[in-house]
Structure 1
C-alpha cells in the first residue's frame, strides 16, 4: 500500500492511513508531504520500535511529482491512500486505472480531496453560538483544514446582525507565532500558500464587500513566518471564485439567502461535499437539513471541524473524495480483497490426509 499524506496533520492522518494498511496485512510505503518529512520519520521509528518487521513499513520522503508519481504508477502497488488537493487526487485516479508492466490487478484508490464547506445560519439561530461556531470553524489553524468553514450562508432576516457580531469577534483574534499561548491564528505553511491566499484576498475585493481584513501585527514580520490576514467578505455571490474554490486559509465568504430553500440550494450547489453545518432552533429545518444537506460530515449547532475517530468517521461526497469514511467501521475493508468461498458439505466418506503424504 502506498500512503501519500498531507502536511496539515502530518502525524494524525499519516498514522490513520498507514495503521489501517498494516492491520489488514499490507506492507506500507509512507510518502509524507515534502513540507513535513521529519514527523513521518519519527512515526516509522515508532512502528519499528513497536515490533513491525523490517521491510513492512518503508519510508520514502520526496516531492509529490517525483516520489508520489512513482508510487502511483508502479505495477507492484495495489492500494493508494491519498489525502491532499483535488487536482492531485484526480490525477492519481486517472493514473491508477492504467495497467502497467507485469501488473495483474486494478489498484484500489482511497482519496480525500478537500472541501468548500458551508455553515447555514437560520433566522432563528442563537447568534452567540453561531458566531462562535463559524469563527472557530473558519479561522482555527489559520483555515488550513479540509474541514474548515469557508462559506457562511445567512438568512436575510438576521444577516446584518450576524455579520456585525461575526466581524467584531473575528477582529479580536490574535495573529502571531504558534508558540505564544494567546495566538489564535498562526502563520500558514509556506510562501506559496501565503501568496495564494493573498491573491484570493485581493480577488475578494472585486467579488464581495470586504468587511474585515485583519492584518498581522507589524512585530511578526521580523519572525520569518508566512503570515496572512484574517479576511471576511460579505455579499459574495454563490458562484464567485471566492465562494467556489478551496482557499486553505483564513478567508470567509458570507452569502445572503432570502429563505431556507435558497440557503440549502447554495450549500449544495458546489463540487465539494465534505463538511457542513447548520445553526437553527427549528426542529423541522434541522430535520430537513439532515436529509438534504449533501455532505459526508454534517454538524448541527456546533463547529464543523474536529471530528473524532470512532465517533465521527471522516470523509466526503462529490469531488471531496472516494471510499468509505476514515475511522469508520467500513474503512478497513478498502485495504483487503474480499472473497466468497462455498463448499458442499455433504461428503461421501473422508480421505486420510496423513496417507500418501497429503498435507
Structure 2
C-alpha cells in the first residue's frame, strides 16, 4: 500500500515521465522479468533468502549488479551483568514487532545458563501481556499474519519445536482463544532451546522466541555466529565497552547495544545468507551509483 501512495505522490510531482514506474505482479512473472532484462543495470531486492538466490541467478546472465536484503535469525545476547528484566522485556518486544514478520527480529535470546529460568519467567509474563485481535483496534498489540499459508507455516514450526524437545513456556500451535478465524498465531516462547534445533536455525517469520542458555561469553558469541544468517543482533550489558567488544565479534550487519534506537542514517544489511549490499544512509545511496574515471 505504501508503494501505491509513493507512486501517487510522484505522479503529482514534476518528475519526468518514465523516471519512476510502479509495476505490479508476482515474483515468477514480473520479478524474474526485471531481474533478467538486459536493460536493467541494477536490482535491489528485499525478501527471502530463497527468492534472493533466484534473483542472483537471473541477474548473473547479464552481469548486473545486485543488492540483496534477505532473511535473518538474529541473536540477542544478554550478558551476565545486564539488567535482566529490562533486557528480556526489550528482547520480547523486538521479536514480536509486526507479529514477528520482520527480517531483523531478535528471535534467538541468549541468556546465562544460571539465569535461564528467570529469563523464561520474565519472557512469559511479557509475552502474555500482548493482546491480540483486530489491528485497527488500538488496544491490540498483535494482529494477524499475512496469510493462511504463513499462519500454518508458523504453527508448524511451533509444533516442530515441541517435537524436538524445547520447553514450551507460553503460546503454542493452537489458535488463540476467541480468534479461531483469521491468520492469528499465539505469541510463543520456548526455553531450553539448543541452537541446533530447527526453531533456532530457520527463519520462522512469526511471533516465536527461542531462549538459549549459554555457559560463558565465548560460548554466547559462538552460538550467535552459529547461523547461516547474519542480518541483525543485540547485546545487553551494564558495561557499554564490553557490549561493544562482543558486538564487534558477531558476524552480523547491525547490532543494537542495550536496545539502542534505530538510526535511519546508519547502513543496514547482512552478512552470509542474509544478503549483500546496504540500505539507508550514505552506503545505501552508493549501491545505486557506479564509478567512472576520466583520464586527461
User: How far does residue 271 in structure 1 lie from its aligned partner after superposition?
Assistant: 0.9
User: Which structure exhibits the higher relative contact order, with contacts defined as CA atoms closer than 8 Å and separated by 6 or more residues?
Assistant: 2
For the residues of structure 2 that align with 1:112 and 1:98, how far apart are their CA atoms?
20
Per the alignment, residue 123 of structure 2 pairs with 166
2:53 to 83, 90, 110: 90
For the residues of structure 2 that align with 1:39 and 1:122, how far apart are their CA atoms?
39
Per the alignment, residue 210 of structure 1 pairs with 168
CA spacing shift, 1:68–1:186, aligned 2, 3 Å: same
Q: Contact 2:106/2:234 (CA < 8 Å) preserved in 1?
A: no
Correspondence 1:53 to 2:12: no
Q: Contact 1:278/1:300 (CA < 8 Å) preserved in 2?
A: yes
| SS of structure 1 residue aligned to 2:221 | helix
For the residues of structure 1 that align with 2:216 and 2:22, how far apart are their CA atoms?
52
1:225-240 map, 5 Å: 225-240=182-197
List alignment gaps of at least 5 residues for structure 2.
none
User: How far does residue 81 in structure 1 lie from its aligned partner after superposition?
Assistant: 0.8
Q: How many residues align?
A: 294
Q: Contact 1:129/1:302 (CA < 8 Å) preserved in 2?
A: no
User: How far does residue 283 in structure 1 lie from its aligned partner after superposition?
Assistant: 4.7
For the residues of structure 1 that align with 2:52 and 2:212, how far apart are their CA atoms?
29
TM-score relative to the length of structure 1: 0.78
Per the alignment, residue 30 of structure 1 pairs with none
For the residues of structure 1 that align with 2:210 and 2:25, how far apart are their CA atoms?
35
The structure with the largest alpha-carbon Rg is: 1
CA spacing shift, 1:256–1:60, aligned 2, 3 Å: same
For the residues of structure 1 that align with 2:240 and 2:67, how far apart are their CA atoms?
36
For the residues of structure 2 that align with 1:217 and 1:193, how far apart are their CA atoms?
16
Per the alignment, residue 25 of structure 1 pairs with none
For the residues of structure 2 that align with 1:42 and 1:193, how far apart are their CA atoms?
26
Correspondence 1:43 to 2:6: yes
CA spacing shift, 1:298–1:39, aligned 2, 3 Å: closer
TM-score relative to the length of structure 2: 0.94
For the residues of structure 1 that align with 2:115 and 2:44, how far apart are their CA atoms?
43
Per the alignment, residue 198 of structure 1 pairs with 155
Q: Contact 1:119/1:151 (CA < 8 Å) preserved in 2?
A: yes
